[in-house]
Structure 1
Amino acid sequence: MRRSLLPAALAALAGALALTGCGSDSGGRPELSAGAAYMPQPVSADMAAGFLTVTNKGGGADELTSVTSDIAGEVTMHSTSGGAMTEKTSFAVPAHGRLVFRSGADHLMFEGLKRKPREGQRVTVRLGFAHSKPLTVEMPVRSATYIPSTGN
């Protein structure tokens, strides 16, 4: 009788392991994408703001550690809390979560503009991460008063 239980137990264990494998997301790795990107046409000739959302569909967290663009001498990341703006060297991108840069909150600052972007143009931005490959994002330049419908 014990011999007949062993194959059934092994089959049940194999089935459970197979289901566990099917249900795993990315093995604890981040799966990053970027969207909802835009830059309001800057009013200043040397500085602009930028906004976007980094989405992580993976099971592992990551960190945005750098942002560069050929249009600016430097791109800095800022957090805003209680009306006070603080430059940051990185932002967390949680597992199964999002990092949102939006007007009036966390945002990107393009400093030392090499040319003033105009509405209708696109600005290329490269996002660097602690664990994932860099992402390149085409950021459309919108009107200075643009407000996205998504609230981003």
Structure 2
Amino acid sequence: MSLTKTLGVAVATLTFALPAFAESKIMIEDAYARAAGANAMAGAAFMQIMNMGDEGDRLIGAKSDIAKRVELHTHIENAEGVMQMVEVEEGFPVAAGSTHMLQRGGDHVMFMGLNDTLEHGSNVTVTLVFEKAGEMVVEIPVDLERKPMHGMGHGAMDHGSNN
């Protein structure tokens, strides 16, 4: 194939592909995953979800082969002052022009029943499911060295459900 034809095919491909990329106004930054230890049965992913669009969206689910179950979780304080991790079935809203933080001690993607270890420096493939933007595949680096943010000193942690 000549250089001219090759360039023509490349331009045509990009011309048709750009509208698909332009449709999603959701951007993911500073994503990382971790587990508590080498033999941990659970892990989590954290990130910034930015909605650059003019209308709100909602993260309604996540999928990954790394675990038997992948859920959206948050932490809430119960009546006894104990922080509990609970599933957020309705997902996380991401308002237009805003950023929603998934961070330790707050909202996060939870991997339950790990099928493999989360090794520092490796990547985890996660499909984020948005109400309007649809599915977005993200390669998330495993970072076991990142220190937690402040704010986790609210007492004991209960990883059970309040259902």
What's the TM-score, normalizing by structure 2? 0.67
2:63 to 54, 59, 68: 68
| Matching residue's letter, 2:30 | A
Matched, 1:115 2:110: no
CA distance in 1 between counterparts of 2:35 and 2:75 reads 21
In our comparison, the structure showing a higher alpha carbon Rg is 1
Matched, 1:58 2:53: yes
**Unaligned ranges ≥5, structure 2:** 1-22, 78-82, 150-163
| Matching residue's letter, 2:129 | G
Partner in structure 2 of residue 97 of structure 1? 98
CA deviation string 1:21-71 (max 9, x = no partner): xxxxxxxx8711111110124414321111111100111001111101111
CA deviation string 1:60-114 (max 9, x = no partner): 0011111011111111111223323221111101111112110111112101111
CA deviation string 1:99-145 (max 9, x = no partner): 211011111210111111200100011000111131111111112x4
CA distance in 2 between counterparts of 1:71 and 1:101 reads 19
CA distance in 2 between counterparts of 1:70 and 1:105 reads 23
**Unaligned ranges ≥5, structure 1:** 1-28
What's the TM-score, normalizing by structure 1? 0.72
Moved over 4 A (4+): none
Identity of aligned residues (%): 32
Q: Is the 8 A contact 1:42 1:116 kept in 2?
A: no
